[in-house]
Structure 1
């Protein structure tokens, strides 16, 4: 079973690397668009109106993709002081509870993001001419990824494999 989980983790590690690169590209893209907006406003005296809206959409993507990768790599802040004095079996239980809470949070992101997308489907983002639901797709995808990556952490722990925690090196396969 460990061999199968290691193969799955290898695929997940490559996918999270892609998510991280996409998040980085989104950050660079947003920065370039804001730079273009400033250039247009102060140098050309002709502000491109679509850049701000597009930047906000990109920001949603890089935030939620990066947050999902942070879940897998254990890079989110946590209060682990108590865990250092507890037995390893209790530590694993607490880490499992933490992953279950992240799954519930991701489920909330998907559920409420879907409701928001349904509510805004008929509206149009004026500067871009696309449906208002586009604003919430990154929230839904981020929630799905958080759930899947937390499930991978639970699966790894259930077969006796290590998972990353804040301040430790990331698990690479």
Structure 2
């Protein structure tokens, strides 16, 4: 069961990295197009800026979930490293509970934001609903919550090497 959950979470992690990376790649392609269209062609396109903003939102929430699982998120541990081991473990659990609350907040408030703006359309892109542009918030919250629960119940996976789709290798620390 544990290996199945880890394999599924590894897949989710890879998808998050892929989505975040693709978002950055597409942003780096469309922003120069907007500059080229404005200054060389003399007629600015209306779509590059809102598209880049939407891609930045996608990158932020999917990338944040992936970096949380990888242990690459910002963490200030200077104070907690000086705690006695029992208190250090309690602080680590408290941090995970607080992260879970933040993820639930993102899910609930993000879903309300999507629902509340669903009937509005982005001015520069009339076929795109504003609610769709906010979907990365609750989706990122769900993925972050999955990774928080994984860390609480299965331990920190940031040190574990993720192999192929079929093989999951557990380091001695992760077990």
TM-score interval, normalised by the smaller of the two chains: 0.7 to 0.9
Structure 1, gaps ≥5 residues long: none
* 50-59 vs 69-78, greater mean Cα deviation: 69-78
Q: TM-score, normalised by structure 1?
A: 0.85
CA deviation map 1:70-96 (0-9, x unaligned): 111222122212332334443232222
Of structures 1 and 2, the one scoring higher in RCO (CA 8 A, sep 6+) is 1
Task: Give the secondary structure class of the aligned counterpart of 1:130.
Answer: strand
Q: 1:49 is matched with which residue?
A: 46
Q: 1:153 is matched with which residue?
A: 151
Q: What pairs with 1:109-148 in structure 2 (closer than 5 Å)?
A: 109-128=106-125, 129-148=127-146
The Cα RMSD (Å) is 1.7
Q: What pairs with 1:57-76 in structure 2 (closer than 5 Å)?
A: 57-76=54-73
CA distance in 1 between partners of 2:121 and 2:74 (Å): 37
Structure 2, gaps ≥5 residues long: 163-167, 169-175
* 29-38 vs 76-85, greater mean Cα deviation: 76-85
> How many aligned residue pairs are there?
162
Q: TM-score, normalised by structure 2?
A: 0.84
